Amino acid sequence: MDKNIVLIGFMGTGKSAIGQRLARKLGLSFVDTDREIEELTGKSIPMLFKNYGEKRFRSEEKLLVARLGKRRNQVIACGGGTVLEPENREILQRNGVLIWVDAEPEDVFRRVRRKRQKRPLLKKGLTLEQVHRMMEKRKPYYEGADFRINTSRSSIEDVVNLIINKLEERSHEDGQS
């Protein structure tokens, strides 16, 4: 398989940690879109949002996705909002398998609350109810993935193995059709 493996899903579901481990295990290169944007701009995500606004961040994200779409054999961990942009979704889908990394709202809330400062879209005093609502709103964008994996009750290692099994199943099915 030379397609990219693209992890999409809400903040705090574990895309980056899983992507890193998955790439290492499969011997593929790993790109975390947020980290890459930070490298390219020389600014942290919160700084980018604060000084230049979300619009600038989204345009950096779009430029990066356009470049990543030309490469293969990489695991890409997307930011939670990357696939909200139809053009990004289309590019990523063209030569990638999209995996929706999901988790229970309670777990997401617990994880993002600790690192709220790193996520400019999450305001002070964030509640579980707000996280729940945001996740519901984002759902239609993630549902277009090839498959979904829930990270709430499994270790990173188990999730990675599950993804590898699913990918093998899929390539086997493709080979048969």
Task: Give the interface with ligand S3P as residue ranges (CB under 6 A).
Answer: 11, 34, 45, 79-81, 119-121
- State in angstroms the smallest separation of the CB of 10 from ligand S3P: 7
Quick one: 97 or 103, whose CB is closer to ligand S3P? 103
Quick one: 1 or 152, whose CB is closer to ligand S3P? 152
- State in angstroms the smallest separation of the CB of 34 from ligand S3P: 5
Quick one: 67 or 168, whose CB is closer to ligand S3P? 67
- State in angstroms the smallest separation of the CB of 11 from ligand S3P: 4
Cα dist from 107 to 70, 71, 87, 95, 132, whole Å:
34, 33, 30, 31, 11
- State in angstroms the smallest separation of the CB of 1 from ligand S3P: 25
Quick one: 115 or 169, whose CB is closer to ligand S3P? 115
Burial class (CB in 10 A: 0-12, 13-18, 19+), 87: exposed
